[in-house]
Amino acid sequence: METINQQQTAEQPTEQSKPNKLFYLGIGLLAIGGIAYLFNRNKSNAVLPVDSAENNVNVKPYKPKYFKIKEVTKNKQVNIVTQNNILLLIKHVLDPLRKAFGSPILISKGYTPHWLNMPHLPIITQTKKGLANGLGVEIRPQKGGHKALKRIIQIAKQQGNFDVITLENNSIYIAYNPNGGKQRIYKYSSNTYLNVTNDWQKFI
């Protein structure tokens, strides 16, 4: 009997050798969490279709024809929202403008992520806030000077896709509004922006 009891005792696992259910449960939760992290990271790196609602993924992304995203970002890293904004700007404003103009248009100031925190006057910061979210850039013709710049503005007005244009020294700031553009043209003067939409040619 003693031998049988010893054998039974030996066959029964001790308290230390029993599987720790909490330990394995913790390992399982960590594995699930890791998979969820990788899924969300890959999802955040995806390109949202242009002109589509967040839940509508059936619209194909726009492929730029004349401008590259890196021309606007100046090789800065951007999140998916900013990248989508840049594609909207290229699709609706920059590419049609470049096609109609027929000659190279350069981006003199592109995406500036810290624009809203820079020490500008508030009127400048807000009027050109598209620099901070990818919906606005400063552009200039590769050649032709002010005459070519006037033609770019004339084309932009004819196409009617822009929201705001501000007249700079040798360039213009142009922005797009996905909710509808107002086609306003401004000239900075005496610490404010004058609305020169109807007589902008006098200021170039």
pLDDT value of residue 79? 92
Q: How far apart are CA 89 and CA 130, in angstroms?
A: 10
Say yes or no to pLDDT of 55 above 50.
no
Residue pair 94/88 in contact (Cβ under 8 Å)? The answer is: no
Q: How far apart are CA 105 and CA 60, in angstroms?
A: 26
Say yes or no to pLDDT of 14 above 60.
no
Q: What percent of the chain has pLDDT over 70?
A: 71
Q: How far apart are CA 183 and CA 170, in angstroms?
A: 20
Between the alpha carbon of residue 168 and those of residues 9, 28, 160, the distances in Å are 91, 60, 20
Q: What is the pTM of this model?
A: 0.71
Q: Starting from the edge strand earliest in sequence, which strands make up the sheet with 192-195, in order?
A: 105-109, 136-141, 172-175, 164-167, 184-189, 192-195
Q: How far apart are CA 155 and CA 178, in angstroms?
A: 19
Q: How far apart are CA 173 and CA 76, in angstroms?
A: 19
Which of the residue ranges 13-22, 141-150, 162-171 would you say has the lowest mean pLDDT?
Answer: 13-22
Q: Which domains does the chain have, with CATH numbers?
A: 69-203 (3.30.1380)
Residue pair 178/158 in contact (Cβ under 8 Å)? The answer is: no
Q: How far apart are CA 16 and CA 102, in angstroms?
A: 80
Mean pLDDT of all residues in 86-90: 96
Secondary structure (DSSP) of 140-158: EESSSHHHHHHHHHHHHHH
Write the pLDDT tens digit of every residue in 115-166.
988 888 888 889 999 999 999 999 999 999 999 999 999 999 999 999 999 9
Q: Quick count: other Cβ atoms within 10 Å of Cβ 115?
A: 18
